[in-house]
């Protein structure tokens, strides 16, 4: 199999998940001319990374693009992933799981967006997922920033003051542009803030 560290036009999605187990660190759903597989094809690919401080065995874990079939493609036994290492799995539909060659899932990725998950050997526990990931651009990967080279930029501080719009009906796209932005009638809150589909007051913090 192929252990590698990739950064091929990656689009930052978020910071590293809190769990220290293996996770889907990056993927490319529209590979036109970047990474080629052993057949010379530019197949879609998925990168699984181990951010932990010990090596781990991925044998028996699953990758799937179907929420109704979590055991769609399985890593072979004794698939070792060292501390800080990553493994590239081609999402080509070729279905290869040889310990001496490249990994290929039995499914390809949909560039328009779809479900994608890493599942534990019990076939039920999802440890990393996109449900779904958004539409993708050709030759652009999508993933998480992690490791010593990752840079985290705080866009809005925790407990920062903000304003929230609570519409009483359908909202047009006019509020996103076309004139001076005016949020003076919006509700004042402190982050984080969520919503309740059953109505009620906005609660900040």
Show the CA angle centred on residue 164, arms to residues 115 and 188, nearest 5°: 145
**135, 159: one domain:** no
**100, 129: one domain:** yes
Q: What predicted TM-score, i.e. pTM, was given to this entire model?
A: 0.70
**104, 38: one domain:** yes
**78, 163: one domain:** no
**98, 194: one domain:** no
Amino acid 171: pLDDT: 75
**115, 170: one domain:** no
Number of compact structural domains in the chain? 2
Chain-wide mean pLDDT for the chain?
A: 84
The CATH number for 93's domain is: 2.60.40.1260
Mean pLDDT for 59-79 is 96
Amino acid 153: pLDDT: 81
Question: What confidence tens digit (pLDDT) does each residue in 7-30 have?
Answer: 444 444 444 454 568 999 999 999
Backbone angles phi, psi at 62, to 5 degrees: -125, 150
199: pLDDT strictly greater than 90: no
Q: Which domain holds residue 186?
A: 154-205
**132, 161: one domain:** no
Which of 145, 163, 196 is at the close of a domain? 145
Which of 103, 126, 145 is at the close of a domain? 145
For the ranges 48-52, 96-100, 192-196, the one whose mean pLDDT is highest: 48-52
The secondary structure of the chain, three-state, reads: CEECCCCCCCEEEEECCCCCCCEEEEEECCCCCCCCCCCCCCCEEEEEECCCCCCEECCCCEEECCCCCCCCEECCCCCEECCCCEEEEEEECCCEECCCCCEECCCECCCCCCCEEEECCCCCCEEEEECCCCCCCCCCCEEEECCCCCCCCCCCCCCCEEEECCCCCCCCHHHHCCCCCCCCCCEEEECCCCCCCCCCCCCCC
Mean pLDDT for 88-101 is 93
Confidence of residue 164 (pLDDT cuts 50, 70, 90): confident
**13, 108: one domain:** yes
Amino acid 10: pLDDT: 43
């Amino acid at each position: 199999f192929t252990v590698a560290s990739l950064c091929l036009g990656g689009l930052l999605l978020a910071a590293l998940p809190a769990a220290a187990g293996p996770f889907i660190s990056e993927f490319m759903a529209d590979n036109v001319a970047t990474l080629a597989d052993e057949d010379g094809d530019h197949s879609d690919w998925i990168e699984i990374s181990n951010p932990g401080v010990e090596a781990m065995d991925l044998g028996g874990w699953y990758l799937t693009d179907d929420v109704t079939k979590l055991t769609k493609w399985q890593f072979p036994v004794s698939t070792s992933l060292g501390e800080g290492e990553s493994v590239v799995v081609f999402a080509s539909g070729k279905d290869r799981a040889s310990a001496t060659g490249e990994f290929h899932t039995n499914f390809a990725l949909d560039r328009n967006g779809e479900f994608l998950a890493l599942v534990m050997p019990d076939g039920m526990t999802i440890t990393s997922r996109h449900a779904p990931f958004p539409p993708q651009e050709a030759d652009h990967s999508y993933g998480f920033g992690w490791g010593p080279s990752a840079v985290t930029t705080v866009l809005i501080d925790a407990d920062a003051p903000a304003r929230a719009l609570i519409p009483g009906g359908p909202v047009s796209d006019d509020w996103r542009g076309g004139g001076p932005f005016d949020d003076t009638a919006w509700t004042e809150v402190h982050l984080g803030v969520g919503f309740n589909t059953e109505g009620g007051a906005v609660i900040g913090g």
